[in-house]
Amino acid sequence: MRPYFEKMDPFGKELKKGEIKRTEKDVEAVASAEAEIAEAVQAVKDAGFPTEKINARGQMTVWQRLDYLVDEGTWRPLHTLYNPLDNVEGTTNVIDGIGKISGKWAVIIGFDNKVMAGAWLPGQSENILRVTDLAKRLNLPLVWVVNCSGAKLPEQEKFYANRRGAGTPFYRHTELEQLGIPILAGIYGTNPAGGGYQSISPTILFAHENCNIAVGGAGIVSGMAPKGGFDLEMAEALIDKAKTHKAAPPGTVSTHYDHTGFFRYVFEKEEEVLDGLKDYMKDMPAYNPKFFRVAEPKDPAFPVDDVDRLLPIEPKRTYNFDQILARLVDGSEHTEFRPDYGPEVYTGLCKVDGFLVACIGNRQGYLGKGYPEYADYPGIGGKLYRQGLIKMNEFVTLCGRDRIPIIWFQDTSGIDVGDIAEKAELLGLGQSLIYSIQQTDVPMMLTVLRKGSAAAHYVMGGPTANHHNAFTLGTVATEIYVMHGETAAVASYARRLVKEQAAGNDLQPVIDNMNKIAQEYHDKSRPLFCAKTGMVDEIVNLKDLRFYMQAFAGAAYQNPKSICPQHQMILPRIIKG
């Protein structure tokens, strides 16, 4: 199949002088917006005790541990700003992402021991479920850096129980193990109760000599005698007891290495625990990349920095999607699928680090005379029409057949609406695309380049494709909502305006409400809000998009559960004809 993949069709073109001149403002706008995101990320990194204080205790911070553990230049953080329940700590208190350890991709997660000694916080279990889903989808080892003091007790009702509460990750760990996905855990510090199960549920446990893991901590063991309330006498008794209580916490190394043998290894130094993890990662099942590569890896022919100029933050501005994609894929080469059909959507085969990937993205701008063919109005990119939906259905289905991972790019305002569009079967074709995706068992990633809106956000391989979407990225231009805020205000209040006017009432209160709803839609669709609530898994600088695509492609092909021999692929032949 070398002729199909070694040299594919070149696409994209160099920026011209006029284009560079008129996009200077865009570069500044992107830099300013990305600085705002970086500031929020730094606040998460600075949460809790300062690094110096943790180091003075002889401990490394979670950030230092991850830095030591992960191969240089391979860390792709996820969920950094995820904080769906607005914790005052500013974090769910786990730090996670994809990275290479000893040359192999893994999903990596650690408790932030700077914040309440790595306590469970609200939103954390949902964060962990995203992480275990990621390991499952990409068939990657999960590596834990455990240092968990258990539940933040004053807020336990927010996360302790429930279908997706703090106990569910342990079932997910078991599920991963049942699927043959190993979980390695380096264990530090005091890990009682929930922390004990965080420690015991992985596959192989690497312990630091000062760690302990237990069903309950020393505080629970010494105080399990409810008397119906507290009074001053009891408080003073507690003070005396706490001052004199010297018992070692349960579940130390002497118990769980020497006695139960739960700990496979014990290490004297913090770094040695991480060295143990690295050593085991060397032996994790992984294909040599040459097994699946279709060509030698190549940088794009055009600078990835150009994307800052090519994607306008202003949501009404049109742009050339193909120009952006040409900055993200190997050699700026592709093989486009059905270029003369469904012009509002790009579908094509590209390479990332020499691996074959399928790319799908919304094109922008005027779609030309006579399109959509079923209507008497002009088609504008960003919207989906009949042909684009049919094309994506076909492409996704063929990618499934050929086992090609899919990278989606969304900037969509929705699917065409109105009775003409209904007669053109768009409702049915949107759901058909959902069926096609669900039927297509390959890993997918999504970048919401700018707009993710209406049903189009659902049908284009987004987080709602639970079993397929590995992760979703946002950019500084991302905005996600069911519809534009002003459209929502009209939908909500148009009839009310008619009634108020008919009654001779002042319209201003209704107008004020309309402006309020429009503003709320704006505020609750911005990149920081999307990241905080989990609509996206990370906000990424535009020039870093390719890094994540490289991680996705490398991870998807590291140990796939199902393969298609290159010479038996049908999609490249269908394109060639």
Partner 1 sequence: MAEDVLSPLAGKIIAVNIEQGADVEEDEEILIIEAMKMETPIYAPCDGKVAEIKVKEGDEVEEDDLLAVIE
* Contact status: 370 vs partner 1 (CB under 8 A): no
By CB under 8 A, name the one of 365, 401, 434, 511 that touches partner 1: 365
Using DSSP's 3-state secondary structure scheme, residue 136 falls into helix
Give the nearest distance from C-beta 19 to partner 1 in angstroms: 4
Give residues with Cβ within 8 angstroms of 144, minimum separation 6.
109, 110, 183, 184, 185, 186, 198, 202
Give the nearest distance from C-beta 487 to partner 1 in angstroms: 9
Amino acid at 490: V
Judge whether 201 and 220 are in contact, CB under 8 Å: no
CA distance 8 to 349: 9
Mask: binding to partner 1, 409-428, rule CB under 8 A, as x and -? ----x---------------
Give residues with Cβ within 8 angstroms of 232, minimum separation 6.
none
Mask: binding to partner 1, 10-49, rule CB under 8 A, as x and -? ------xxxx-xx---------------------------
Instruction: Give the binding range for partner 1 (CB under 8 A) out of 61-69, 377-385, 423-431, 549-557.
Output: 377-385
Q: Which is nearer to partner 1, 368 or 577 (CB)?
A: 368
Give the nearest distance from C-beta 425 to partner 1 in angstroms: 21
Amino acid at 282: K
Q: Which is nearer to partner 1, 26 or 538 (CB)?
A: 26
Q: Which is nearer to partner 1, 442 or 489 (CB)?
A: 489
Cα–Cα distance list, 329 to 10, 104, 134, 381 (Å): 11, 22, 23, 22
* Contact status: 314 vs partner 1 (CB under 8 A): yes
CA distance 426 to 417: 8
Q: What is the DSSP string of 200-233?
A: HSSSEEEEETT-EEESS-HHHHH-----SS--HH
Q: What is the DSSP string of 399-427?
A: HHHHT--EEEEEEE-EE--SHHHHHTTHH
Give the nearest distance from C-beta 312 to partner 1 in angstroms: 9
Q: Which is nearer to partner 1, 278 or 450 (CB)?
A: 450
By CB under 8 A, name the one of 204, 304, 375, 380 that touches partner 1: 380
Give the nearest distance from C-beta 378 to partner 1 in angstroms: 6
Pairing verdict, β 355-362 and 383-384 = unpaired
The kind and range of the H/E element at 307 are helix 307-310
Using DSSP's 3-state secondary structure scheme, residue 362 falls into strand
CA distance 461 to 342: 18
Q: Which is nearer to partner 1, 21 or 576 (CB)?
A: 21
How many residues touch partner 1 (CB under 8 A)?
18
Is the sign of the CA dihedral 288, 291, 297, 300 positive or negative?
negative
The kind and range of the H/E element at 31 are helix 24-45
Instruction: Give the binding range for partner 1 (CB under 8 A) out of 223-231, 251-259, 311-319, 400-408.
Output: 311-319
* Contact status: 561 vs partner 1 (CB under 8 A): no
By CB under 8 A, name the one of 61, 80, 149, 364 that touches partner 1: 364
Instruction: Give the binding range for partner 1 (CB under 8 A) out of 138-146, 185-193, 359-367, 554-562.
Output: 359-367
Question: Tokens standing for 304?
Answer: 């990835």
* Contact status: 366 vs partner 1 (CB under 8 A): yes
* Contact status: 567 vs partner 1 (CB under 8 A): no
Give the nearest distance from C-beta 129 to partner 1 in angstroms: 37
Give the nearest distance from C-beta 18 to partner 1 in angstroms: 4
Give the nearest distance from C-beta 413 to partner 1 in angstroms: 7
CA distance 444 to 555: 11
By CB under 8 A, name the one of 156, 168, 318, 438 that touches partner 1: 318
Instruction: Give the binding range for partner 1 (CB under 8 A) out of 140-148, 280-288, 303-311, 374-382.
Output: 374-382
Is the sign of the CA dihedral 44, 47, 50, 55 positive or negative?
negative
The kind and range of the H/E element at 68 are helix 62-69
CA distance 185 to 201: 9
* Contact status: 50 vs partner 1 (CB under 8 A): no
Q: Which is nearer to partner 1, 301 or 483 (CB)?
A: 483
Q: Which is nearer to partner 1, 46 or 314 (CB)?
A: 314
Give the nearest distance from C-beta 361 to partner 1 in angstroms: 16
Q: Which is nearer to partner 1, 219 or 365 (CB)?
A: 365
Question: Tokens standing for 272?
Answer: 């040695």
CA distance 445 to 468: 8
List contacts with partner 1 (CB under 8 A).
16-19, 21-22, 314, 316-318, 364-366, 369, 378, 380, 382, 413
